[in-house]
């Protein structure tokens, strides 16, 4: 498969690129900063320089031509303000979905966030609330598209602990945490499981091997 990942220098994206390249897939990572290209090359990924906050649909679609799948893993990141939650976490996701449809790439995965499907509770930090609203709006946009075989993955609290390879992956898991390693492993498995198209799935650490959890989610 050829897989194009938006936000290719992100922590989960880099883990995913290593996994995909290691299993023989052709993987490209969309990055904004040229100085990040070497990191992707070291992982076995092709760096694609494109700023999703300023690019047109046609610009991005050119990078998606010939791909078998697209993964939206971009995010404004910690330290960014409310405005960039909208321009990256929402608008860039919409742009990437538009580009995928334009390029004829049906399989489309999104790294979202647990809590993105509901209004943030009172007292939530305003920037984090804006992030959750932006992710929720992006998810709603993607799920409304008949031209995409989408899967929305909503991990719990992310950690840098070593992956265990065992998770809980269902429509509603309850609160929990999950290593970024295991999020990347789940995404890699989801790319090979078309039966999960049309599903919004939550992911936390658990007792089920990733491959089995993904297979069950497709059932």
Spatial separation of the C-alpha atoms in residues 63 and 167, rounded to whole Å = 33
Q: Distance between CA 196 and CA 84 in Å, rounded?
A: 30
**Which residues on adjacent β-strands are paired with residue 48?**
30
Give catalytic status of residue 218 as yes or no. Answer: no
Q: Tokens 């840098």 correspond to what residue?
A: 160
Q: What is the helix (H) or strand (E) element at residue 48, kind and residue range?
A: strand 46-49
DSSP annotation of 147: T
* CB atoms inside a 10 Å sphere around CB 176: 16
Query: CA 129: distance to chain centroid?
Result: 19
Contact 183, 13 (CB under 8 A): no
Selected catalytic residue, list 72, 96, 108, 131: 131
Which positions are annotated as active-site residues?
A: 131
């Amino acid at each position: 498969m050829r897989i194009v990942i938006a936000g290719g220098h992100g922590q989960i994206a880099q883990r995913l690129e290593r996994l995909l390249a290691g299993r023989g897939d052709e993987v490209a990572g969309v990055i904004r900063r040229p100085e990040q290209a070497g990191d992707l090359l070291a992982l076995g990924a092709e760096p694609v320089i494109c700023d999703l906050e300023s690019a047109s649909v046609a610009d991005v679609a050119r990078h998606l031509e010939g791909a078998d799948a697209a993964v939206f893993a971009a995010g404004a990141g910690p330290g960014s303000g409310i405005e960039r939650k909208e321009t990256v976490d929402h608008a860039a996701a919409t742009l990437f979905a538009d580009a995928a449809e334009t390029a004829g790439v049906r399989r489309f995965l999104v790294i979202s966030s647990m809590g993105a499907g509901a209004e943030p509770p009172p007292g939530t930090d305003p920037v984090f609330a804006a992030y959750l609203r932006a992710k929720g709006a992006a998810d709603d946009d993607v799920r409304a598209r008949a031209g995409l075989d989408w899967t929305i993955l909503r991990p719990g609290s992310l950690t840098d602990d070593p992956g265990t390879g065992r998770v809980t992956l269902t429509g509603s898991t309850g609160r929990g945490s999950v290593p970024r390693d295991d999020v990347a492993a789940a995404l890699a498995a989801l790319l090979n499981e078309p039966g999960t198209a049309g599903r919004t799935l939550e992911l936390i650490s658990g007792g089920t091997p990733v491959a089995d959890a993904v297979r069950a989610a497709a059932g």
